[in-house]
Structure 1
Amino acid sequence: METRYIKKKTAKLYTNDTDGGYEQILIYGEEVKTSGQPMNGRIKATYRNKYEGYVNTDELMVNGELEIYFIDVGQGDAALVVTPNRKKILIDGGANGQAKGFLQWKYQLADLASPDLVIDLMVLSHADGDHLKGLIDILEHPKIEVKRILHNGIGLFDGMDEKSGDRSADGNYLTTYHSGLADLQNLQLRNPFDDWIALIQQKNIIYTAVNHETGFVDTGDPVIAMEILGPVIAHDAVGNPRFKWFKNHPHTINGHSVVFSIQYDKVRILFSGDVNIEGSKYLLEHPGTEQKLRANVLKTPHHGSHEFHPPFLAAVRPQISVVSSGDSPDHGHPRANFIGAIGLASRSRAPLVFSTEIASTFTDVNEIDLMEVVPDGSLSINDIIGARLFKKRLNGMINVRTDGKDLYAMRRVTAWYWWESYGPLHAEDFPTIL
């Protein structure tokens, strides 16, 4: 069998090599295994080792391209980047097991015969639970190996001035900083951060803080440029790193999220963590950062909250924006004013603004379904009379794919056409930096 990839926005996995019946709709960049000789312009193909059929030979390409999966983890962040040379970068993990579930599904980890999954690079934008907890589940998975972890240098502690550590005498800076595990020795860590650190130590994973001084990071794929833009750190009189204090702990840890770009040829993607108004202003004050924030695709800051800085969005000027949010707990994300602002800031006359929360689909739970929900009899039908219950039918995964020149964006729908899909959209305004 030979590995091939879909090179059209959407293509069909036909039931045979002659008529129009089909089993699946495949999107740009999807991997198939082909075998045998072409007949009638089609070749036998297997998708996900599960679905067999035929694809048109003129809809296949030999090499994969850049894939970004914005995973629906509810109220939180998680994204997987698969580079053209199949390196895998996981950014945040949400607060639940949904990111792990996606990886198990995509890479068939429940199949004992399947190879282990290697995450070449994991990025924790900051240590809030809605970004961290799901990564702990992934580190614990017996078939997932993580090679390297990048983080922002801010931990969670007990017995200090703040949850994030001690502050300078004037109160203007957070002085507790860690890069590697050795910097955390003899410090009292707070859950779930202590579980996170214990697993990293147990598995002997490379663990390094990054900031604006880091510059470019080697992803292992020579056609990809990954540049760290934030957090912007300061130094005390003897050169020790420290963070500007933004009003309180939540604003400080969010405002100093790891912010970075990934560039493939003429396409740039910006991941902004939970950077807020204070953090955005601080980034823009740093010389040269405004130009580097420009991107075609933006993982929007802080779940589309009201704490956004319009000049930051104007600096990015995305064509495609993705909000990662959920309704439990319900913070009202994405906020209406944020959706308006990100559309206004777009470089495109027809901007695409996705939300994982809005993209998810729910259906009514009927009485038969209720027996599946509460099979142990802990609740009866009578207990739930008058309540309206729903279950999630489709997760709100947002797929973005690119060949470095054109962009494709899709989400699943339950209607017969299977996908809401856009593209090819020409990537605007970026020079190649490799």
Structure 2
Amino acid sequence: MTHCFVALPEDYEPVFLFDEHGNRDRQVLWGDWLRIDEENDGDPDWRAVLWAWEDLEKKRRLKVRREHTTDARPLEIVFVDVGQGDGAVLITPERDDSERIVVIDAGEGEHMREFLDARFSTYKRRMRFHAAVITHPDLDHYGGFASIFENGAITFDKLYHSGLVERPERDAWAKLGGKIKDSVSSREYLAALVVDDAAMRTLFGPPVKVGRYRYAGMVRAAIDGNLVGAFEMLSTRHGTSEEGGCWMPGFAPSDPRDYAIEIVGPIPELDAGGAPWLRRLGDAGKTKNGHSVLLRLHFGDFKVFFGGDLNFPAEQYLLTSLAGMAEWPRTTVEREELVARAAPFVRAEVMKTCHHGSSDVTDEFLEAVNPAAFVISSGDEEGHVHPRPDLLGRLGKFGRGASPVLLSTELQRSTREKEDAKLVEALTSDIARLAKTPSDALRDRIQKDVAALGRSNVDVDGAIYLKTDGKRLIAAFKKEQQAATDKWFYFEYAILNRRLILKPRN
């Protein structure tokens, strides 16, 4: 089976598939996978496309301008609309069996599994992915993996985590293995880090009883189903050490690919015996959030920063550690020095904003990262009020350039304001008729209408698509008013004379 990918024209103009009469049929996006009709692919100007060929109802013969196709595809990051929580999928630019897929958090419910099924099951006979990353043990980051593991169709070579896991215990600190006080500094630390595969399987594998504890049950399902090759901790001390940094195994600068994934956090300290431990950053929740796995993707001219659920005390610790400063600055001069010294370790063109748009962040960290585009992953749960309005103003202030872009899965999501009033009216009438005169046909129609009313209220999900070849980058999302030939809105970025150039494209 021959396939190719949608190219990105030099002028960034949109690309379309056409029907046999030359009419625009649908808009496609840079890097989209196209199945080629080999028997009819002889036209010098057009390529024959077999669209949705595995779907009997949707399959069609279309065509695309040959100049708008390529054998090379960009690296892609999809910030999946998982509702309240985080979930992203990194897809490397290699083809076929060389492709690597990394799932970074999975939200709380089934949205991530549904996305993975829809995206990959049609062309991957075995959905074996390179890695899963649970940035920290919060339900809205790891809960979606329970759905993935229960399904059993997806396996991972590695499952990476921060070293902090939730044991099947009731007490918040006991879940994390308890805390101890350092006799020298009087600080409290979490020392019971789960560093390797054997330790994880001892904690959660048979014969341990995990009960109804969500994290423990999720890990146990992966173990029982043989769905994870190995569990490993990621930190600035747990990875591949090269060029003065620490990198995700297999994604270091010396590995044979054009991109790399740097581990920025957590940053463990060492106890008197040289063993790693993580300092307490407040209550148990702030501590496990603050020690999230932090990743920075390097690809050509662009960097993408994944911020986990960092909070104010965590950012203070992170920045002072990276800057090599003993304490948080008290003066403007010290503050400027902190930002300047820490910036090389965190600066990025795109930032997955910390903690779903919470305002519990420092201005210094935002200034150090200084991204041109922020991605906020949040849901509609009113108790969280994410993203916080005051944070949005701060993002605009500390983002790069005069007009930094703010992209939110919640704000990009489109929901119906009103349900179908006519359908409700017809359904009410049919129920009354059925009571008077039973009919199989009428009963079937009622069941169909009830199913229609029970459909999701989301018309367009808020997923955000980031694609780059290291020289150019686009950030795209689906338009609220869906039309096959006018589906995408995207921003395009390029580096020109060491300056980041932005141009919106609708």
Deviation at 1:183, TM superposition (A): 2.6
When residues 347 and 392 of structure 1 are mapped into structure 2, their CA distance, relative to the original with a 3 A threshold, is same
**Cα deviation 1:130-155 (Å, max 9, x = unaligned):** 00010121123332121111110001
Deviation at 1:319, TM superposition (A): 1.5
Q: Which of 83, 97, 114 lines up with 2:110 in the alignment?
A: 97
Deviation at 1:240, TM superposition (A): 1.9
1:25-424 equivalences under 5 Å are 25-35=27-37, 36-39=40-43, 41-49=45-53, 50-85=59-94, 86-108=99-121, 115-157=125-167, 158=169, 161-169=173-181, 170=186, 172-184=188-200, 185=202, 191-202=213-224, 203=226, 204-213=228-237, 214=239, 215-217=246-248, 218-219=250-251, 222-287=257-322, 289-328=342-381, 330-363=383-416, 364-367=418-421, 391-415=457-481, 416=483, 417-424=486-493
**Cα deviation 1:10-32 (Å, max 9, x = unaligned):** 3101112x53x222210111111
When residues 401 and 324 of structure 1 are mapped into structure 2, their CA distance, relative to the original with a 3 A threshold, is same
Corresponding pairs, count: 413
* Whole-Å separation in 1 of the counterparts to 2:360 and 2:262: 25
When residues 2 and 341 of structure 1 are mapped into structure 2, their CA distance, relative to the original with a 3 A threshold, is same
* Whole-Å separation in 2 of the counterparts to 1:283 and 1:58: 47
When residues 115 and 425 of structure 1 are mapped into structure 2, their CA distance, relative to the original with a 3 A threshold, is same
**Cα deviation 1:262-302 (Å, max 9, x = unaligned):** 11122111111101111111111123653121111111100
Deviation at 1:38, TM superposition (A): 4.5
Contact 1:6 1:59 in 2 (8 A): yes
Deviation at 1:366, TM superposition (A): 1.9
Deviation at 1:391, TM superposition (A): 1.2
When residues 131 and 238 of structure 1 are mapped into structure 2, their CA distance, relative to the original with a 3 A threshold, is same
Query: SS at 1:39's partner residue?
Result: coil
Deviation at 1:361, TM superposition (A): 0.5
Aligned-pair Cα RMSD in Å? 2.7
Percent identical among aligned pairs is: 25
Alignment-mate amino acid for residue 15 of structure 2: A
Q: Could you list the runs of 5+ residues in structure 2 that have no partner in the other structure?
A: 54-58, 240-245, 324-341, 432-454, 500-506
Alignment-mate amino acid for residue 366 of structure 1: D
**Structure 1 stretch displaced more, 320-329 or 35-44:** 35-44
Alignment-mate amino acid for residue 178 of structure 1: V
Deviation at 1:159, TM superposition (A): 6.1
Larger Rg: 2
* Whole-Å separation in 2 of the counterparts to 1:221 and 1:97: 35
* Whole-Å separation in 1 of the counterparts to 2:366 and 2:498: 16
Deviation at 1:5, TM superposition (A): 1.3
Query: SS at 2:115's partner residue?
Result: helix
Deviation at 1:171, TM superposition (A): 5.6
When residues 26 and 343 of structure 1 are mapped into structure 2, their CA distance, relative to the original with a 3 A threshold, is same
When residues 186 and 116 of structure 1 are mapped into structure 2, their CA distance, relative to the original with a 3 A threshold, is closer
TM-score by length of structure 2 reads 0.76
Deviation at 1:186, TM superposition (A): 5.8
Q: Could you list the runs of 5+ residues in structure 1 that have no partner in the other structure?
A: 378-388
Deviation at 1:241, TM superposition (A): 1.5
Contact 2:45 2:65 in 1 (8 A): yes
Alignment-mate amino acid for residue 151 of structure 1: H
* Whole-Å separation in 1 of the counterparts to 2:109 and 2:151: 14
**Cα deviation 1:297-344 (Å, max 9, x = unaligned):** 111100001111111111111112110000125411111121121222
Alignment-mate amino acid for residue 230 of structure 2: I
Deviation at 1:51, TM superposition (A): 4.8
* Whole-Å separation in 1 of the counterparts to 2:50 and 2:362: 47
Deviation at 1:351, TM superposition (A): 1.7
Contact 2:85 2:141 in 1 (8 A): yes
* Whole-Å separation in 2 of the counterparts to 1:313 and 1:116: 40
**Structure 1 stretch displaced more, 44-53 or 245-254:** 44-53
Query: SS at 1:205's partner residue?
Result: strand
* Whole-Å separation in 2 of the counterparts to 1:418 and 1:149: 35
Alignment-mate amino acid for residue 349 of structure 2: N
Contact 2:164 2:194 in 1 (8 A): yes
1:12 match:
16
More helix by share: 2
Deviation at 1:177, TM superposition (A): 1.0
Contact 1:407 1:426 in 2 (8 A): no
2:495 match:
426
